[in-house]
Structure 1
Amino acid sequence: MGPRLILLCGLPCSGKTTEARRLERELPAVRLCPDEWLTGLGLDPFDGPARDRVEAVLWRHAQALLAAGTAVVLEYGFWDRGERDEKRLRARELGVPVELRYLTAPLPELQRRAELRNREPGAIALTAAQMAEYAAMIEEPTPEELALYD
């Protein structure tokens, strides 16, 4: 398939990890998930500065992988359009196609999924209140924005 950057956008429990794992197998691609790196390093996944540092390192790694001809799936959530634009434009500078996949579900469904996931060993626990807060924060991609991607 060659190099390709795939950005997975969506709230927690929207299916990003399931989609990323599927793409990782089927393309194949390298999947980069900050939550897994943070917990794997023993860091708090809610520590904003630590998350920023890990995401910056993963983004540098992703660019090297893309330059080497590898498909990359970034499982960041991408709640902010500016962050999505930054990755899209940089990938284009590298001559790499870039996709944005927006995964969504109604808030009550996301809250239900979070409750189920909270029961799994090692899960990052999220409350219904946190999910509602996050839903108010995400800048959902518009049809015009989605049209900018391959």
Structure 2
Amino acid sequence: MPKVIALCGKICSGKTFYANKIKEEKNAVILSTDEVTFYLTDNEQGERYDDFAKRVNEYLMKKAIDIVRAGANVILDWGFWSKEERINLTNYYKKYNIPVEWHYVDVTQEKWQDLIKKRNELIVSGQEKYSFYFDDGLKKKLLDSFNEPSKEEMDIWYINK
């Protein structure tokens, strides 16, 4: 039976890379909050990003039901920073008898710093238009909000080396 594959991980941990890596083998459609918000707002949402992203996520969660019912897997490519978000998503799809498979994209501190540096360089050079510049404010927001999942919460623990 098709399922929802939910990716959990920090900003810039390699979730999108991982999603693209597994989409063919999983016969999956990737639904990405960042992709939609950048496309619709040209990265101009500013302080309203959290509200806008919440609405986008709600829409994508509903759209995932249609895709699963059509016979394909869905990869939700957003971070699921809190345990509450992860529980809520699992319970949401339970109501529709849709299984959720949780994948955590883990990254070492050294690799994470390298990925942040590379992303920021690509953004500054204009080669990357659909990612956030990872500044100290965004890093603080992440570190204040991110709850690393337990091994028991996840079905797959992928280490981005």
Classify the TM-score, shorter chain: 0.7 to 0.9
Matched residues in 2 for 1:67 and 1:80: separation?
27
Partner of 1:79: 81
Partner of 2:159: none
Matched residues in 2 for 1:20 and 1:72: separation?
10
Matched residues in 1 for 2:141 and 2:110: separation?
13
Give, as a single letter, the amino acid of the residue that structure 2 aligns with 1:9: C
Could you say what secondary structure the match of 1:7 adopts? strand
Partner of 2:152: 144
Give, as a single letter, the amino acid of the residue that structure 2 aligns with 1:35: D
Partner of 2:158: none
Matched residues in 2 for 1:52 and 1:112: separation?
29
Aligned pair partner of 2:61 in 59, 62, 84: 59
Cα RMSD (Å) of the superposition?
Answer: 2.0
Matched residues in 2 for 1:90 and 1:133: separation?
26
Using the TM superposition, give the Cα deviation of residue 90 of structure 1 relative to its aligned residue in structure 2, in angstroms.
Answer: 2.4
Q: Is the 8 A contact 1:6 1:100 kept in 2?
A: yes
Q: Is the 8 A contact 1:4 1:97 kept in 2?
A: yes
Matched residues in 2 for 1:88 and 1:44: separation?
31
Partner of 2:133: 125
Partner of 1:112: 114
Give, as a single letter, the amino acid of the residue that structure 2 aligns with 1:16: K
Using the TM superposition, give the Cα deviation of residue 132 of structure 1 relative to its aligned residue in structure 2, in angstroms.
Answer: 4.8
Q: Which runs of 5+ in 1 are unaligned?
A: none
Q: Which runs of 5+ in 2 are unaligned?
A: 156-161
Partner of 2:27: 28
Deviations 1:11-39 (A, max 9, x none): 01111001111222222101000101111
**Residues 45 and 108 of structure 1: CA distance in aligned 2, closer, same or farther (over 3 Å):** farther
**Residues 41 and 35 of structure 1: CA distance in aligned 2, closer, same or farther (over 3 Å):** same
Matched residues in 1 for 2:51 and 2:26: separation?
32
Could you say what secondary structure the match of 1:100 adopts? strand
Give the percent of matched residue pairs that are identical in Structure 1 and Structure 2.
29
Q: Is the 8 A contact 1:23 1:73 kept in 2?
A: no
Q: Is the 8 A contact 2:102 2:153 kept in 1?
A: no
Matched residues in 1 for 2:45 and 2:61: separation?
17
Partner of 2:93: 91
Using the TM superposition, give the Cα deviation of residue 138 of structure 1 relative to its aligned residue in structure 2, in angstroms.
Answer: 0.8
Give, as a single letter, the amino acid of the residue that structure 1 aligns with 2:153: E
TM-score normalised by L of structure 1: 0.85
Aligned pair partner of 2:51 in 21, 25, 49: 49
